[in-house]
Every structure is written in structure tokens, then in C-alpha cells.
Amino acid sequence: MKTAIGKAQETVSHGSISGTRYSNVPYKSGNNLSNYEKDRCKLDIYIPRSSGTAPFPVIVYFYGGGLNAGDKSEGWADWSNNFGFKFLEAGISMVMVNYRLSGQQGTKWPLYIQDAAASVAWVANNIAQYGGAPNNIFVMGFSAGAYLTHMLSIDSKWYTEINFDRNRIKGYIAISGQTRTHGTVAADLGIQQNQLMTVRTDAMPFGHVKKTEKPIHIFVGEYEGQTITDNYAYYNQLISKGSTNLFIYTNLGKDHGGMRDGLGDASSPTRSKILEFIRTGASTVNLAPNIAYRKPVTASSTENTANTADKAVDADGNTRWASTNSDTQWIYVDLGARYAVNRVRIAWEAACAKNYYLESSDDARSWANIRTVTNNVALINDHTGLNRNARYIRIYATQRATTYGYSIFEFEVYGN
């Protein structure tokens, strides 16, 4: 290993976990940089000392903060549950990146994306000097940082601008990111958030949906509301374009901040799946597509001509099926053939079912119970571990959780 060209090398530790930190390493150079760019475009490199041997797999990490706040110290202090040390303990090198913030010194979209791309290229070209593996780099971000991660993963423009080969990156990990709208991006562009998907589709990941080239792992928390809806809609759209190297996971019991801080918990399902991804270099868990996507669907009733049953299987995330106002209602999807169904995911609007049955059938006349749900208040019901061969899957609701009819954004079925 060559002598590292970093600054302020020091030992960092948390409990029994230790590592070496190189602080404030510039990832941009040249005479045309503004003073703010010189000050902001720096990164910290953390190399494991208590586990593993070099060269270490590398995570390039972008913090959250709405694109107008935040710092590369995220993950290395009590306020963010010191989650970075958990990755050091697993033998992973972490590179924490500062990028220019919206509203500071004239910074607007897309400067922070360009900074993110530049930092990834710098890491790929220089991390070997610090003990990292240049052929084993993953890009990860939380919230606004996951927006940056999504943009780098789906739009080759940002790497092409700087003549960087995107194939040098092994995979992407987006935690609770924005795929369809972002308030700061809209403000930077001088438009309303709801115009991002009509006026400036280029500014959001959803506007670049295509068959993906590199694996993308997406993580959301059970209590993240629209973030869940938008990420699942994005995932389903990528699947519809032929993508097979995807994985999406809902961490139960977590809200937005909990998704970040949970990475530092003693036991973290999200961290475990990230480490599995890094160690295998591939998406290995539940890659089956949503087999209900745009399949024929039938419902007991429809509230109006806008909220028809087909809206529950269109993978849009903003459209929905709505029933009339009574307790006993149902909706079923015809998968077109008999499948081994292992998972059903329901994304309710606010008008969810308190009590309902998940059922299956081979003829849409005789129904067998798969799962009984009582006292439900969650808007995302992810039924995993199912083992049912069937052509038809039905949600049979018997009691509403609100005074309105039932309303479902997405009715998804997975299997083979």
C-alpha cells in the first residue's frame, strides 16, 4: 500500500471498535474552484483497525439534511447512533462526503449531484492508497443522500460529464430517499413540488426509469408514509422495464430518523442486509417481480370513475382504488396463471381496513384463507413467508378503520 495522501490521520474508537480516520481530504482540485467549493468538497476516510484485512470493501456515504443542511460527521456521534463504527466492525471502509448545500453561495440543483459524482470518482481513483478496495465500492446515502445515490445509480449523465466509468461502482444502497419529489430541488428550479414529474422530470430518479445496469438496494421504514409509496412505485417501475438486480425492504417499527439511527443498533435488519449485499456483491433476496402489475382486477365496488380497481395494480403510488362506504368490501387480482405466492404487500391510503382476510382461489369462486388480520392500523401491510399456490389473490375486508370506504394505493403480489 502506498503512503496515504490524506490529512490529519488519527485513531477513532467507540467501545471496542477502532479505526483510522483521514480527515478533510479534498476530492476536487483546480484553479476554477470557488472558495466555498474548496471548503465544502472534502471527505473523511475511515479504515477498520479491529477487524478484517486490507484491501477493505468501501462505502461512499452521503448524509441526509434536505440538500440544504447536514455534515459528513453523520454516523460518528451519539446524535446519529455512531452507526459508522458498526460498519468498521464488519470490516468495511467508510468514506463520508461533504457536498455543497443548496442556498449557500449560490448553490442550486444540480451542483450537489455533480459534487457527489466527483467524490465517487475520486474515491475510485485514490482509495487504494488508504487500504480500500477500488474494485469493491458501493455508494450509499440516507434521505437527501439517498436522493443523490438514486440519481447517480440511474442517470449516467453525472459520471459521463467527468469521464468516469460507472462500471467501476459495484452497487447502490438508498435508505429513505426521494424518488418522485423533493422540496429543495423544486425550490432550486423555481417550480412547485408537484411539477417535478411534469415540468422537470430530469431532476428526479422517477424521470429516468429504465432497465438498471448495477444492483440497487432500497430501504424504507414502516412509518415513512409517502416515502414508502414513492420508493415502492419506483421499484415497481424499474422492474417493469426489465430490471432484475433490485431489492427493496421495509424495516418495521422505523420512522424516517429511525432508519438512519437504526443502522447503529445492536441488531439492525437493514444493516444486516446491506452487509450481505456487500459481501456477496449481488442482490440475493426476493428479487421476484410484482406479478400483480397491470393484471386484471375486480372489486366489489368503486367510489367514483377516478378511483377504479385497476389503479391498485398500476405501480403508480399516487393513484388508488376506493370502495364505497360500507364495511364488507373486496378486491381481487387475476394473476393469469397459477403461481407459488410467497408475499403480498398492501399500501393503504388513510382509509385502511381494521379487519380483513387475505385469500386465494383457483377459480375466483371458492376462496381459501391465507392470513387473518385484526385490529390493523398500519398503512403498509407486508405479508411475507406465504406459501400458497393460486391464480387469484383477494383482500376481503370486514371492518373499516375509518368512517370512509377502503382505499388502496398498491396491491402487490410476489411469487414464481
- Indicate whether 286 pLDDT > 50: no
Residues 240 and 352 in one domain: no
Residue 164 sits in the same domain as residue 84:
yes
Residues 318 and 276 placed together within one structural domain of the fold: no
What's the average model confidence in pLDDT over 80-94?
96
Domain shared by 275 and 404, yes or no: no
Residue 287's pLDDT band (cuts 50, 70, 90)? very low
pLDDT, one tens digit per residue, over 161-190 is 999 999 999 999 999 999 999 999 999 999
Cα separation, 216 vs 248, whole angstroms: 9
Report the number of distinct structural domains present in the chain.
2
The domain that contains 336 carries what CATH number?
Answer: 2.60.120.260
Please answer whether residues 52 and 20 qualify as being in contact, where contact means their C-beta atoms are separated by less than 8 angstroms: no
| CA gap 67, 333 in Å, rounded | 40
d(CA 33, CA 312): 49
**pLDDT of amino acid 284:** 42
Question: Which structural domain, as residue segments, surrounds residue 190?
Answer: 10-280
Residue 309 has pLDDT above 90, yes or no: yes
Does residue 367 lie within any of the structural domains? yes
Find all residues with CB under 8 Å of 157, minimum gap 6, and list them.
none
**Largest Cα–Cα separation, the chain:** 74
Residues 135, 31: one domain?
Answer: yes
Q: Is residue 363 domain-resident? A: yes
pLDDT given at position 7:
57
* Mean pLDDT along residues 132-150: 98
pLDDT (0 to 100) of residue 67: 99
331 shares a domain with 234: no
**Between 111-126 and 144-154, two packed helices, what is the crossing angle to 10 degrees?**
70
If asked whether residues 110 and 146 sit together in one domain, one would say yes
Any domain includes 258: yes
Radius of gyration of the chain, Cα coordinates, nearest whole angstrom: 23
222-270 pLDDT per residue, tens: 899 889 989 988 998 898 888 888 888 888 889 999 999 999 999 999 9
Q: How far apart are CA 221 and CA 117, in angstroms?
A: 27
Task: Please tell me which residue, 69 or 318, carries the higher pLDDT value.
Answer: 69
For residues 155 and 110, membership in a common domain is answered with yes
